[in-house]
Structure 1
Amino acid sequence: MSGPLPVFTHLLHLTDHRATFEHALLTEPRREHGYCVDDMARVLIVATREPGAAGPVNGLAGKALTFLNDAQSYDGRCRNRMDSAGRWQDLPSTEDHWGRMVWALGTAAAHSEVGLVRRLATVQFERAAQTRSPHPRARAFAAIGAAELLSVAPGHTAARELLTGYVATLPDTAPDPEWPWPEPRLEYANAVLAEAMIAAGVALDDAALLDRGLDLLDWLLDLETRDGHLSPTPVTGRGPSDLGPGFDQQPIEVASLADACARAAAADARPAWLEGLRMAAGWFGGDNDLGLPMWDSGTGGGYDGLHADRVNLNQGAESTLAALSTMQQARRYSPVRQ
């Protein structure tokens, strides 16, 4: 499998001295909407897992770490939204942005090629790991971060306690073999629920949990494949009786599948995971329900959504980071390193 390389030009264009702007009007940042932890966590992930990153990409990691540190409270909770003047707009909580922050900090601690980034990310991780979230996706994001840190520091107490606590919250296996998903409907970033099980199964040497995560991802990948290409769950969700394709489709769904397939491929030799990665990269390249490209491969800018009749050509941070993340994962498993 080979494909286009991640290109950081547009992401850098969306970023000022403080952070990456959340939204864009076509290619131009919409400064009036400010910044968010959700996106800066994603920035930290893609920046620190980019091998041999040039100075500007390393600079993104530094900005992300500073932003996340400023967002955190001493008790581990964090704010999410900051306006363009640098003022926080909300109170600390443990919503999804907290989980994404923990995921990013664990990833940076495990994969950054810069020693200072690894050390600072570990300190911030330990602060964030003091608390827990009641929200399933936030817990799953955080579990992946804990598993990443344990991959390089198996004795890390806070990471292990966070991960074992996550496993204890998992619901029993769904009783309906036709709908094994742990929720009555697919919602958003769905593959993260399977990926967290896989990550925890590997980190805790729990073969049953690993197999459960793999089986769940296999079911999801099959459900979201249509005529040989990905047709991901739309923003309205998907239930057992819903027929595809559904719209609007969001790039973050595809990136979530790519992340989960990459983690599955590292733990299991089934060819389905590499095929899933190929389809995820292909979705951005135009192998989707409309046959239209979902990113600008020259700048790395990702388009904000696939509607029933057109592409949303705005290139916001979430969509751009989803494209970059997907291309990183596809490159990781390319037989010819580019």
Structure 2
Amino acid sequence: MSPAKRIAFIGNSLPRRCGIATFTTDLQQAIASSDVNTSIVAMNDHADGYDYPFSVHCQISDQRLESYAHAADFLNEGRFDVVSLQHEFGIFGGEAGSHLMALLSRLTMPVVTTLHTVLAEPNAAQRDVMERIVDASARIVVMAEKGRDLLRAVYRLPADKIEVIAHGIPEFAFVEPDEAKERLGFGGRSVILTFGLLSPNKGIEVMIDAMPSILRRRPDAIYVVLGATHPHLVRERGESYRESLMSRVRELGVEDHVVFLDQFVDQATLLGFISMCDVYVTPYLNEAQMTSGTLSYSFGLGKAVVSTPYWHARELLADGRGILVPFGDAVAIGNEIAGLLTDAPRRQDMRLRAYASSRSMTWERTAKRYLAAFETARRGRVLNAVAGSSQPRALMATAPPPEMQTGHLLSMCDDTGLFQHAVHSVPDRSHGYCVDDNARALLLASALNGTGESRLPETLTTRFTSFVQHAWNPDRRRFRNFMSFERRWLEEAGSEDSHGRSLWALGVCARDDASAPRRQWAAALFAEALPIIERFSSPRAWAFALLGLDAHCTTVVAASVRTLLADRLLGLLATVETPGWIWFEDGLSYDNARLPQAMIATGLAMKVPAYVEAGLRSLRWLTHLQTTPTGLFRPVGSESFGDRRSPPKVFDQQPLEATATISACLAAWRADGDPQWRNDAACAFAWFLGDNDLSVPLVDLDTGACRDGLHRDRPNENRGGESVVSYLLSLAEIRQLARVSGDRPKLAPLRALHA
């Protein structure tokens, strides 16, 4: 395998002012010097963005979910060999940075993620996001052994997936500070330096409090605080933090010995300041800081360093390479710094130890280690492909299917039936009801009559059946579809599809309902409403009717209709199908998978192999079309409806399509026993739980509510009747599969919504 030639970096980028931006830019430049084509995908934290260099080829607006998807498209279309992700909490949008998953879930190349922070005690959202990032990454890089330990202990990551690569440093000669002091205006002073974006967690106030004790032993000492205030802090509080530090300096009377340089400096200027200091101090207050670029730089330039014992410092400064002091202890910091400033031999010995041990950290060597990690990730991807070990993400998890919860369904019903729509989770009376949704609800009631589930309340099932009965218009021999909230029918006859779906529900009710009188009612109305289906031209109406006939076909008339409809679908496929378009129509619409499902079910019932084969062949084509290169289920987007023989558009995505695909794939599995069909069903179900293009869960596991779908940039926050029934029908099938198979389909809610 030839070495990677195109590598992309995702993270902040200079001139944005933060440590991640500096690191991303430095790493990209170091890799680019190795004759590799590189590109940066930069995170923007405000609408105006930044004046980026030419190395930035794509930008992401951190709070816009759509922007992450566009970045994934850029990377996939650019055919990059590897993506290097720089992860830090706070730079990606969504809860705990969850928007990032909308990008990672769509990438077709391996991802090597550098974790700049590894939390020992993450909250639930942070843990969830971290686990999903780790799962999406081929390799994980941390900059300290503590990071490796935490990944193994807290996140159960295997050791062979983790690389420890130290923070890179520039190549810089070991020099004495006097020349730089003269050049920068600090000649004749004992210089203590801190550099970085000012924020309260840096502990600058502790160092200021230490200055009086230092000055008693070293009167020429001066503390230089180099760095602008963190931009986010400026936006929230202005310069109040810097002003509070300056006020403390005045209170202590050390104005001549503390200098604030409000600058965000380039690397050359920073190296000049570091080279002129006698002691570098990082008095940070957060033990969990996994890495510090300024600590690495000062260490790499051979500086005597005094630091609090955050994780990175504890490792880097061990064995006499620096001095550690307790957090927030101004007395200890003062004593140690004063001791170093008054003991030149000790200070020089510490400098030499630091410089010698840092040679492996230069950017040139760091780049080589990253390139090796990239190649390991690529080899792993190739080996997985050869071994055929790539599986749908849904099968890689281990939790059982969620519990059946019908609370939201109940709230979406009144004494008439199931409401069509909701505003968020509140039923929307203005759109009334439809037979489509109430027929679906009747299918759900029948599905929950099986072993292992709690039935719907009898009164609720009665409402659904009553609605279907009331929808029947005997004068037209058709079902009406739409009813206003005032219980007024808005049409004399509904669509052909709504008629077909009503037949489907009646057929299943006639077979599966718990009430014998209701089964008799369903059979009678089914027989009355079936004959007119022969006049219909809608392939979906035919398919829905065939699914009803699969459940209830007890007369010669019904058998004749079943053969007629199946032959029509078979004829459509024969007429429309080409090598690249194995489908019944010239375009894709809604409920697509119901067509092959109907053919498979009918073929099995009638023992007609041609029907089964047609269903399997068309479903295989559709399933391939609805699966991304990374194994995500991506249903045909509604923006595709009406397109002729074109690849489906991605959005809007609707729960109805996932439900149809699950049913069809399980029908295919029962037909030919290929376990891949179960995998495909699992992937489609995982779409509900967050394994989708936006990495957003659609369901509330506590109530059974389901969002109405995925827009290009966000989920649809409404939770209407069709969506809740679609999810619950899918859940019922997956749970039944687990029971009859004697095992658990390995389906885990990646980040199910509890709201």
TM-score using structure 1 length: 0.93
Asked whether the 8 Å contact 1:44–1:60 carries over to 2, the reply is no
Asked whether the 8 Å contact 1:47–1:61 carries over to 2, the reply is yes
Structure 2 residue 562 is the aligned partner of structure 1 residue 159: no
> Per the alignment, in what secondary structure is the counterpart of residue 724 of structure 2?
helix
Q: Equivalents in 2 of 1:57, 1:89: separation in Å?
A: 29
Q: Equivalents in 2 of 1:41, 1:136: separation in Å?
A: 18
Q: Equivalents in 1 of 2:433, 2:507: separation in Å?
A: 21
Q: Equivalents in 2 of 1:90, 1:135: separation in Å?
A: 19
Q: Equivalents in 2 of 1:125, 1:45: separation in Å?
A: 14
> Per the alignment, in what secondary structure is the counterpart of residue 22 of structure 1?
strand
Aligned to 1:102: 503
Aligned to 1:119: 520
Q: Name which of structure 1's ranges 53-62 and 227-236 shifts more when overlaid on structure 2.
A: 53-62
Higher-Rg structure is 2
Q: Equivalents in 2 of 1:221, 1:175: separation in Å?
A: 16
**1:139-158 correspondence runs (5 A):** 139-150=542-553, 155-158=554-557
Aligned to 1:71: 471
Distance 1:175 1:94, change over 3 A: closer
Q: Equivalents in 1 of 2:493, 2:423: separation in Å?
A: 29
Aligned to 1:229: 632
Asked whether the 8 Å contact 2:577–2:583 carries over to 1, the reply is no
Asked whether the 8 Å contact 1:147–1:159 carries over to 2, the reply is no
> Per the alignment, in what secondary structure is the counterpart of residue 225 of structure 1?
coil
Structure 1 residue 126: deviation in Å?
0.8
Asked whether the 8 Å contact 1:191–1:257 carries over to 2, the reply is yes
**1:168-247 correspondence runs (5 A):** 168-170=567-569, 171-173=572-574, 174-226=576-628, 227-237=630-640, 240-242=645-647, 246-247=650-651
* Paired positions, count: 333
Q: Pick one of 113, 116, 129 that aligns with 2:530.
A: 129
Structure 2 residue 699 is the aligned partner of structure 1 residue 295: yes
> Per the alignment, in what secondary structure is the counterpart of residue 298 of structure 1?
coil
Asked whether the 8 Å contact 1:109–1:117 carries over to 2, the reply is yes
> Per the alignment, in what secondary structure is the counterpart of residue 289 of structure 1?
coil
Superimposed CA distance per residue, residues 52-95 of structure 1 (whole angstroms, 9 cap, x where no aligned partner): 56464433321111111111122531100111121111112452
Aligned to 1:47: 445
Asked whether the 8 Å contact 1:76–1:129 carries over to 2, the reply is no
Q: Name which of structure 1's ranges 169-178 and 190-199 shifts more when overlaid on structure 2.
A: 169-178
Asked whether the 8 Å contact 1:77–1:93 carries over to 2, the reply is yes
Percent identity between matched residues is 35
Letter in 2 for 1:21: F
Distance 1:60 1:273, change over 3 A: farther
Distance 1:123 1:45, change over 3 A: same
Asked whether the 8 Å contact 2:654–2:709 carries over to 1, the reply is yes
Structure 1 residue 9: deviation in Å?
0.9
**1:75-90 correspondence runs (5 A):** 76-90=477-491
Asked whether the 8 Å contact 1:3–1:281 carries over to 2, the reply is no
Q: Name which of structure 1's ranges 127-136 and 302-311 shifts more when overlaid on structure 2.
A: 127-136
Asked whether the 8 Å contact 1:21–1:35 carries over to 2, the reply is yes
CA RMSD of aligned residues (A): 1.9
Asked whether the 8 Å contact 2:439–2:468 carries over to 1, the reply is yes
Asked whether the 8 Å contact 1:195–1:260 carries over to 2, the reply is yes
User: Which structure has greater strand proportion?
Assistant: 2
Structure 1 residue 241: deviation in Å?
4.2
Q: Equivalents in 1 of 2:592, 2:434: separation in Å?
A: 21
Superimposed CA distance per residue, residues 124-176 of structure 1 (whole angstroms, 9 cap, x where no aligned partner): 111111211221111111111011113xxxx4334312211202322142441
Asked whether the 8 Å contact 2:706–2:723 carries over to 1, the reply is yes
Aligned to 1:332: 736
Distance 1:136 1:240, change over 3 A: closer
Letter in 1 for 2:563: T
Letter in 1 for 2:530: A
> Per the alignment, in what secondary structure is the counterpart of residue 617 of structure 2?
helix
Q: Equivalents in 2 of 1:83, 1:183: separation in Å?
A: 33
Distance 1:319 1:87, change over 3 A: same
TM-score using structure 2 length: 0.43
Q: Name which of structure 1's ranges 31-40 and 163-172 shifts more when overlaid on structure 2.
A: 163-172
Q: Equivalents in 2 of 1:54, 1:112: separation in Å?
A: 14
The gaps in structure 2 that reach 5 residues or longer are 1-394, 746-755
Q: Pick one of 686, 706, 709 that aligns with 1:305.
A: 709
Structure 1 residue 249: deviation in Å?
0.4
Q: Equivalents in 1 of 2:659, 2:481: separation in Å?
A: 21
Q: Equivalents in 1 of 2:500, 2:568: separation in Å?
A: 15
Aligned to 2:289: none
Asked whether the 8 Å contact 1:233–1:249 carries over to 2, the reply is yes
Q: Pick one of 297, 302, 320 that aligns with 2:724.
A: 320
Distance 1:187 1:120, change over 3 A: same
Q: Equivalents in 2 of 1:325, 1:157: separation in Å?
A: 31
Aligned to 1:91: 492
Aligned to 2:677: 273
Aligned to 1:261: 665
